A and B are shown apart, each in its own frame.
Chain A
């Protein structure tokens, strides 16, 4: 029987990878991919603790909310990026430094 340790280590790895992706890439959509990594790391942690720690389902329910929020976030972010792309013909977020539309 494995404890929560491997899951937590994996979630740390995912978190660091996600952060590295967000930091290193300038493409907005790839950054969104990095954010998905981070969110999944968090959800994985929650589920692992729910199974091995608390003994109830609150962790799983919280992970469910993570999925819900991630999907909402992805939809809105993509809509924003497509508008962004429409305005300045790129998804390079460094180019989006003007305050006027």
Chain B
């Protein structure tokens, strides 16, 4: 039994390590979890081989939300495709916009004005907060605690209000476009944003009291769904899932884009505070810590914001030179990559999207073995997948 194999085993009770909880081995039951199931976060279907409450094997089946986003990209112009990026990870549309815009700008060598760069950072980080709030709240819901969910959505509403004030949309923004952002901030927006940041910071302590350090919650999530660092790297995990496994890899630090190198922030990693490194609790907690870091970044960006244009001079019909590029940004769920192949026309020849949720989900069959049925919900919730991005 090697190290990784030992991690797969049921780890609820140290007394019975390496054993199934009961000897009463009945026939294996095939259980169809999803595509309509409360804790699969959308239309994911997981086929479970169960022995009583014990899950022997979990196989995810994806594709229920496939909308041919990549193929569509070949038919629409670059500007038009920005709208499709909204629908990838619909909880972090700003970040998706940003990734696509950066890829296109890199290929077209478009210089973005400084104010637009900072605005991009502000909005990307605000959306990271909103997305992590959803992840945190839904994780509480997966664990059976309804109240954190409502609290988190209450806070998310304020972020959405801010977005609505800036760009008029609450879910699909298309705010960050090629060459900058679509329009400048409205009157008084910065003050409201600061007010929100002041409001959010104490709330995170509240979540810690309510959920993170709740004894039941820790028992449900610590030592559950452990992804050791080597396994996480082997499966290509990114984002909070990778950092939850203790690997301090963040594209904002490692390969800064959008002037992220100007900001002072830390990369929180899972330290196995309540159980082992890389368990569900670590992944959950990394998200909470990242929210604090995002608040720090937004504060600095708001300070640096100076007057100026928010759009570079880009023609209405963007034409990119022939060539190809692969560009990755750090999304709330991991690294979102756009592989853009251009033949010099107004629409891409081929676009390949690397969805972080898809790669994160791929670890499910490796980790969800010999765990309990309830642990599947804990694991899926902590991986925090968005099916819009998995299926694209």
Q: Could you list which residues of chain A lie within 8 angstroms of chain B, going by C-beta atoms? A: 82, 85-86
Contact = CB atoms under 8 A, between A and B. Distances in A.
Contacts of A82: 24
B25 interface: yes
Interface string B74-102: 00000000000000000000000000000
Q: How big is the B interface, by class?
A: under 10
A82 B25 CA distance: 9
Interface string B164-196: 000000000000000000000000000000000
5 contacts: A82-B24, A85-B26, A86-B23, A86-B24, A86-B25
Nearest to A82: B24
A45 to B, nearest CB: 36
A85 B26 CA distance: 8
Contacts of B26: 85
Interface string B1-30: 000000000000000000000011110000
Nearest to B25: A86
A26 B276 CA distance: 50
Which applies to chain B's interface (DSSP): helix, strand, loop or mixed? loop
4 tightest Cβ-Cβ pairs between the two chains A and B: A82-B24, A86-B25, A86-B24, A86-B23
Contacts of B25: 86
A80 to B, nearest CB: 12
Contacts of A86: 23-25
Contacts of B24: 82, 86
A86 B20 CA distance: 15
B28 to A, nearest CB: 13
A99 to B, nearest CB: 22
B53 to A, nearest CB: 16
A85 B24 CA distance: 9
Contacts of A85: 26
Nearest to B23: A86
Contacts of B23: 86
A82 B24 CA distance: 7
Nearest to B27: A89
Nearest to B24: A82
A63 B40 CA distance: 52
A82 B22 CA distance: 12
A84 to B, nearest CB: 11
A82 B23 CA distance: 10
A28 to B, nearest CB: 15
A85 B25 CA distance: 9
B23 to A, nearest CB: 7
A82 B27 CA distance: 12
B242 to A, nearest CB: 42
Nearest to A86: B25
A97 B18 CA distance: 34
A86 B23 CA distance: 9
A78 to B, nearest CB: 10
A79 to B, nearest CB: 9
B24 to A, nearest CB: 5
Nearest to A79: B24
A24 B23 CA distance: 31
A85 B23 CA distance: 12
A89 to B, nearest CB: 8
A9 B23 CA distance: 44
Interface in B139-180: none
A84 B24 CA distance: 10
A86 B24 CA distance: 7
A86 B25 CA distance: 6
A74 to B, nearest CB: 16
A29 to B, nearest CB: 14
